[in-house]
Structure 1
Amino acid sequence: MEYIDFTNTAPAVATALRALSKAVDDAGLDKSLTELIKLRASQINGCAFCVQFHLNAARGLGVDQRKLDLVAAWRDAGIFSAREQAALAWTEALTKLSTESASDAVYAQVAGQFPAGELAHLSAAIANINAWNRIAVGLRFSPPAPAQPRSAA
């Protein structure tokens, strides 16, 4: 099944998932940050559709290409801020719940960077991308076309 087929077959589900994403966006979390966490969760879950979708979105926002290239190795990259590192660690913890727990140390790290309201919305964004990953992988969505590189004007 393709993405468009899913949205046509289960429009209320697609609308609900998009509404959750909009709620996170409306809460004011930095869109570049949420694209990084969506990309990282999608890498972990092996979701080609979502990896390409969120690469396209991140590029459209002007996210630093080095960060997109190195998000899979963010711990060692030396280019992610403390806030981004905390968000990526939290993303990995919540995405890998079936094999690992979200440790107190990772929770303390993310709670030190994000006030309660932001942490709640960050957690919702992570839950949402994990839901999309499971749908896209399970139904075998084909990846969208890559975004065209932005030209230097």
Structure 2
Amino acid sequence: MSGERINYYKHLGEAVAHLSKVESILADGQLSPELLELVKLRVSQINGCSFCVNYHTQVLRLLGTSQLRIDLAVVWEESSCYSDEERAAFRWAEAVTQIADTRFINDRIFEEAQGVFGDATLCELTLAIGMINIWNRMAIAFHSDHAMIDQLLAKKRSEVKV
């Protein structure tokens, strides 16, 4: 990969600020910080976003997530280290992220997610999945500079309540 193509933060400052505000609202929502980050990691793996995989892996470490749980997110279905809630979130995240391929989400996956999360929290989870898909697409399209991760992590360190 060549270097950064465009620093989209510079050109979309106000829009990025609004996206960041949505992220703040989600962080204060019903989903645990670890679950949110695991979902963001899994979606970033699906999308092949090295910037976001790098960042969310490091955030998970900040949250105290074990290296095993981080490493096995890519093969979560074969691993016993995730809760039923996390498994439902991964299944929903994969279905929502890959919707362009399938053009639908089957009722079984929807009903499982709705049963685990309820309506309001499932809406939050779906918004979080949509947000990480936006960030993935921007980072992949414009080759986000991994040097920015240190800056983002410094901000995250001040927010993390462990």
Q: TM-score, normalised by structure 1?
A: 0.89
CA distance in 2, matches of 1:26, 1:51: 22
1:120 to 2:126 alignment: no
Amino acid at match of 1:82: D
Paired residue for 1:131, among 134, 145, 150? Answer: 134
CA distance in 2, matches of 1:36, 1:51: 10
Paired residue for 2:111, among 108, 120, 126? Answer: 108
CA distance in 2, matches of 1:132, 1:17: 9
Matched residue SS, 1:102? coil
Aligned residues: 147
Where structure 1 has 5 or more consecutive residues not aligned to the other structure, the ranges are 148-153
Please state how far the C-alpha of 1:92 moved relative to its aligned partner: 0.1
Amino acid at match of 1:26: D
Amino acid at match of 2:23: S
CA distance in 2, matches of 1:85, 1:12: 35
Please state how far the C-alpha of 1:143 moved relative to its aligned partner: 3.0
Matched residue SS, 1:80? coil
Please state how far the C-alpha of 1:5 moved relative to its aligned partner: 2.5
2:20 corresponds in structure 1 to 18
Paired residue for 2:47, among 32, 39, 45? Answer: 45
User: Which runs of structure 1 show a deviation greater than 6 angstroms over 4 or more consecutive aligned residues?
Assistant: none
CA distance in 2, matches of 1:71, 1:110: 18
Q: TM-score, normalised by structure 2?
A: 0.84
Q: Tell me whether 77-86 or 22-31 shows the greater mean CA deviation.
A: 22-31
Q: Is the 8 A contact 1:2 1:142 kept in 2?
A: yes
CA distance in 1, matches of 2:43, 2:72: 14
Amino acid at match of 1:68: I
Where structure 2 has 5 or more consecutive residues not aligned to the other structure, the ranges are 154-162
1:70 to 2:72 alignment: yes
Name the CA shift for 1:2/1:95 in 2 (closer, same or farther; >3 Å).
same
Paired residue for 1:55, among 57, 73, 92? Answer: 57
| Identity score, percent | 33
2:8 corresponds in structure 1 to 6
Please state how far the C-alpha of 1:54 moved relative to its aligned partner: 0.5
CA distance in 1, matches of 2:139, 2:62: 22
Name the CA shift for 1:44/1:102 in 2 (closer, same or farther; >3 Å).
same
Deviations 1:55-112, CA, capped at 9 Å, x for gaps: 1111111112111000010001111100000000000000001112211111111111
